Amino acid sequence: MQALRCSSCSSSGRGSVYTGQQAGVTVQCRRSVSRSRSVVAKAALQALVFDCDGVILESEDLHRRAYNATFQHFNVQCGVAGVVDWDEQFYDMLQNTVGGGKPKMRWYFNRFGWPTSSILSGQKPSTEAEQALLIDTLQDWKTDKYQEMIGSGEVEPRPGVLRLMDEARAAGLKVAVCSAATKSSVVFTLKSLLGEQRFNSLDCFLAGDDVDKKKPNPLIYQVAAQKLGVSPSDCVVVEDSTIGLEAALGAGMRCIITYTPSTKQQVGLIAGDYPSNGLSHVADRVGHLIICCSMLRS
């Protein structure tokens, strides 16, 4: 984590990460509570930016199950190991290593060998065009499967996320969502969980299809700041992983992490061993910033 530097301290070379005391929250900058108020006073909060998977909903196991169903459907096999099946431990590592669905599969196939599948009549892809066809076909079917799971009505937003969005909006902040996932999948997910009104009221929405570099590259957050018309230093990002943290800090934004069971192992190296119980405590913490910034504007 030495490469991750605090946007507030980079000029003095004192980059660090602040460990929150509740709910596995990690906030950029090691500051006491009293000093944090001065940070708010100096840099007014203008926008609140959310990741989707792991922040708005605990979705990683749904993604894993959708990938495995896809591999089974197309009889995707690497070597003699049989049909590809990602267990929970492996997927936790994978999703903390590679951002985005297509990059995950490319990473896996480059490491363990390109597979045979019914997509190419039981043959391995022999050209880059065939590799792209394989990846695109798998991702499209997986997206449909994932949306089927979301549409079942059994999935709910993480506790506190709707409150946090509504309070930010009421305080005059801009609200955005930036996800590395496929756009059609994220749109379906957000409309299902946030509702049409909240989704349509977003000031900015970006998905993996909108940028050519995935997290931990900061591009998606840099583009978001441009579209929002605000300085990156006036944005706070809510993330769940070290990949997202690196992307946010790389864009010059402040970052709060609320980890999930899937990201706890890596984020725990920063955040310590705190429980993961949604965004209710994050809403309390960010709510303090919202109130302070509203007072500054008035």
Residues 213 and 209: their CA atoms lie apart, in Å, by 9
Among residues 243, 120, 64, the alpha carbon closest in space to that of 259 is found at 243
236: phi > 0 → left, psi -120 to 50 → alpha, else beta; which? beta
- Across 176-205, b (16+ Cβ under 10 Å) vs e yields bbbbbbbeebbbbbbebbbeeebbeebbbb
Among residues 175, 145, 155, the alpha carbon closest in space to that of 53 is found at 155
Residues 176 and 212: their CA atoms lie apart, in Å, by 19
**Contact in structure between 1 and 270 (CB atoms under 8 Å):** yes
Compute the radius of gyration of the chain from its Cα atoms. 20
Strand partners, 49: 176, 237
Collect all residues with Cβ–Cβ distance below 8 Å to 84 and sequence separation of at least 6: 68, 71, 76, 77, 78, 108, 115
Residues 25 and 64: their CA atoms lie apart, in Å, by 25
User: Would you please indicate which residues are annotated as catalytic (active-site) residues?
Assistant: 51, 53
Alpha helices per DSSP H over the chain:
33-42, 60-73, 88-95, 101-112, 128-150, 161-170, 183-194, 196-200, 219-228, 242-250, 264-271, 280-297
